[in-house]
Chain A
Amino acid sequence: MKRLCGNTWGRAAGLDFGLKSKGSLMSIRPRPGFTLIETIAAITILAVVIPPMLWAVQEAQIQRVNPMLASKARWLATEKLEDIIADRHSDSGSRGYDYLDVSNYAAQNKGDITGYEQFSRTVTIDPETDALFVPTVDGGYKTVTVSVGWDNATGNAMSLAISTVLTEYTP
């Protein structure tokens, strides 16, 4: 019996089997490969699924710098606080406890701190009304707060503040 054309796309194995009275089993087996349609479908699915996964990995890497930015902000806050402590305890006649006023510590906007342009830094100094101890001679104290602000890797505004207390008392 003459075989029908063997080159037809999508020909059903059952039809093939029905028309053949004899023949090798190999010839009636479904084709072992993928069809072009299946292959294109697979490639399309992969093309849709894989890029978002890669972008997600990349996004995770971008956000990995956030802890580092917070750490730098902490160092910048400490740096300013160290200056303020030094001013409080300076043996200069023009510094000391009375020098601790917000007018002496101008706010630094983003771009003002050399090498750390993405950070801003402000100082607040609150003279406390209650005396630290009795008698109240030189009994005052001030709460000094250094705040550092920055934008994290995803553009969210972040801030960090470190405070300390500096006293008027001089032994």
Chain B
Amino acid sequence: MPEQIPPVLAHFEEKIRRALGSSLDVRYRPFVASLNGERRGLLIYLDGLADEKKVQEVLKGVIQHTQPPFEPQQISPDPMELLRKAVLCQAEVQPSRQFSACVEAVMVGRTVLALDGSSQVLLISTTGNPGRSVQEPSAEKEVQGPRDGFVEHLPSNLALIRRRIRDPRLQIQSIQVGQRTKTTIAIAYLKDVAGEELIAEVRKRLEEIRIDAIHGAGALEELIRDSPSTPFPLIHLTERPDRAAANILEGRVVIATDNSPFVMIVPTSFWGLFQAAGDYYQHYLISTAYRVLRIMAFLVALTLPAAYVMLTTFHHEMLPTPLALTVASGREGTPFPTVLEVLLMEVMFEVMHEAGLRLPTAVGQTVSIVGALVIGDAAVQAGLIAPGTVMVVASTGIAGFALPSYPVSLAVRFVRFGMLILAGTLGVFGFLLGTSILALHMTSLRSFGVPYLAPYAPYRPSEQEDSAMRAPWWRLRARPDMGAGGSVHQAPDQQPEAPGARQ
């Protein structure tokens, strides 16, 4: 039996003051209104979370309430009913008899209206939006694409998605996670496209979470991902509403977390992380070329230092003679073995990246200038580091940043050190050992049950059109197979033709 609301206002006030404590931001606003006679009442709301203007409107309505042209008694003898139906102008006014609901309502920014002599309260929606307005996404910029990005406010984010899919079959359900933070999580999908099992799995994973606090999408990701120990991102986080909407239309499920400008897209394919939103706005040949380029950058970022060390310390015969001489001349007089050289420079690079990451722009420039001097020039001038090593480390670093997904770039940089140590100690054997382990590991990964390396491993011929290549829009007819069955989402023969081309 849930706790009831005591009809005497003084008792209610005492009780709620005990429940909410003496927090600075809790506001109690007593008032007197004329509702079938004089009635004392109380408004309770959280300063800041509730919009002050909206609270004022509530007060204005209640206090300045005058006799309407009809007989109030005809509406209802109950003053609460009267308030709800004839006095308050707010869109969402919800009666409640449970005390716990009152406390929860205050916590999300609603205003609780209690009247003396009533065992009912009204929960009035006065939630304000204290966050920033919709801005350009800072982590995923596109040259030719929409400029709006998700913000910290969940309803705004959902509206951004809804605006792109005006289909009643777009379902948005919510779950509360976090015993203390009471974070709202929204699940968005297309009812007739997304697989039943996938939706059930997402719900199940979210409902099974028993935790005090959810701090953001990244924290939630760790709680629901398939394999906890892999460094690779199994769930795609995006800041872009166009991307989230496109993925919903392909049959994926979007999980949006309140207070986080990133939404999750499940299931995630590894190759999907090499796709940028801009790929769909550019010409398909160019998009394909850039996707291939990104995959090459991935391979470079992963293996170049390892291959360099392997070739220059173990397998000199694999270098062409002029290259061997060039590398050898650069190495003349350098004191450290190549492995150590590369390892030192890689660590320095990571340190600089870390240092530059959170600094204000003005200081960040100092870091980059000093870094360029230290890493690029001074080390070579001093004869400490071979110029080839600097080239390798620099190209590896740049290649790492060419990946459109930041988590992938982090994972690559993490794995790179393992590859480097293996290749530096065991030569080509270690290099191949590392690549084999990595390949085995990645093929074993699943994202919400879907193989991570699909559609290449397992190979699905029908999904090749939008993977490492992008076929023109009029060829992208089938949706990827994620359990719901590859349904077709456009009519055939959409290929444009010049008039008169067909006889």
A, B co-complexed: no
